[in-house]
Structure 1
Amino acid sequence: MKHLADLLLLGDPRLYETCEPVLESDLPLVPAWVADLHNVMEEIRAKYQFGRGIAAPQLGILKRLIYLNVDRPQVIINPELITASDEMDELWDDCMSFPNLLVHVRRHRSLTLSYRDENWQPHTWTITNWHLSELVQHEYDHLNGVLCTMRAIDAQSFRWRPTPA
């Protein structure tokens, strides 16, 4: 079982790599990967009071796998961005790989994604909820070796997160 200490931190070269697709033959490994992602997310939530999603490469698993836990756990395998809205919005983004840093970024207001679930069933998901859209874009970027620090609006787009009470 992976723990918070296994989380790759800003500067680790593996965070900048493009991940390989999950193969159908990898499916027996997916439950253990998801358990590790869930466990680390829960530890981040307990320590830093944030965390809605995590991408496999953040634990050194260089596969195209995202784990979300917003209203319910959700496994997203081999996501492909089909469309993204022209309408953009801005936010102070956070990341488990640098939990004390916030980065001001622009993201698409809505998007459509195709992916497979943990049972290898195909899905198409149109996300119009801004908070889910920006989250999925953040995690999707991880699969392509892109961190939110690389999407900063300008040189003044960084600030420290207030310390939780």
Structure 2
Amino acid sequence: MAIREILEAPDPRLKVVSSPVETFDDNLKTLVDDMFETMYAAHGIGLAAIQVGEPIRLLVIDLQEEDPDAEPVPCDHDGHAHTHQPIINDPRVFVNPEILNPSDDTKSYQEGCLSVPDIYADVERPSKCRVRWQDLEGNTHEEEMDGMLAVCIQHEMDHLNGILFIDHLSRLKRSMALKKLQKARAA
């Protein structure tokens, strides 16, 4: 496994529409392992293959919820001793995902993106959607999704179509977000 570089806006590769995955082999599994390692290292909850420079219809998600029933664990990952609740990992892989029947009702969530670091904005999306995808063996699955999983899958699937979450914002808000990003890079 390896941590890969995450492309950042305005890298033109992020605007590429990704191609379907046709070969389900060890190279695909290695890419998935690398994507999870990269996503966890960047403290993200979702990552599309195009964000690491691979223009294929592949994404990984792990909402990583805290386990409220577990005993707090001591740690010093940031150099300061403290305790935290253990995380329940639920890594999910979606190959060639497609959204079926998005709901008419929408919900606004504050979104961020590893390719647009430190920028957050409210984005309106369908509150539920049915998703069809393949697993790493090529088997097809379908599931009704809602809440944070529905938001995350729609956000990551936008990447597969060359769309960033800031593309859902007004021209003024998008321009302000990109200027903030440039300013942060220059600092």
Aligned to 1:8: 7
Instruction: Look at both structures and tell me which one has the larger radius of gyration over its CA atoms.
Output: 2
Residue 30 of structure 1 is aligned with which of 15, 28, 45? 28
Aligned to 1:135: 152
- Counterpart AA for 2:11: D
Residue 61 of structure 1 is aligned with which of 54, 65, 82? 54
Structure 1 residue 91 displacement after superposition = 1.8
Aligned to 1:86: 104
> Alpha carbons of 1:78 and 1:12: their partners in 2 closer, same or farther (altered >3 Å)?
same
Indicate conservation of the 8 Å contact 2:32/2:60, yes or no: yes
Aligned to 1:75: 93
Which ranges of structure 2 fall in alignment gaps of 5 or more residues?
A: 64-88, 181-187
Aligned to 2:20: 21
Which moved further from structure 2: 14-23 or 100-109? 100-109
Q: Could you state the TM-score of these two structures normalised by the residue count of structure 2?
A: 0.76
Structure 1 residue 103 displacement after superposition = 2.2
Give % identity: 28
Indicate conservation of the 8 Å contact 1:88/1:109, yes or no: yes
Indicate conservation of the 8 Å contact 1:112/1:126, yes or no: yes
Indicate conservation of the 8 Å contact 2:24/2:136, yes or no: no
Q: Secondary structure at the match of 2:116?
A: coil
- Counterpart AA for 1:13: P
- Counterpart AA for 2:17: T
Which ranges of structure 1 fall in alignment gaps of 5 or more residues?
A: 46-50, 161-165
- Counterpart AA for 2:7: L
Q: Secondary structure at the match of 1:35?
A: helix
Cα-Cα RMSD: 1.9
User: 2 CA distance for matches of 1:102 and 1:41?
Assistant: 18
User: 2 CA distance for matches of 1:154 and 1:125?
Assistant: 34
What do the CA deviations read for 1:110-164 (whole angstroms, capped 9, x no partner)? Answer: 0001110112110011113x1111110000100000000101156347667xxxx
What do the CA deviations read for 1:30-72 (whole angstroms, capped 9, x no partner)? Answer: 1111111111111111xxxxx2111100000100001111241
What do the CA deviations read for 1:14-35 (whole angstroms, capped 9, x no partner)? Answer: 1001000000x24331111111
Q: Could you state the TM-score of these two structures normalised by the residue count of structure 1?
A: 0.85
Indicate conservation of the 8 Å contact 1:106/1:153, yes or no: no
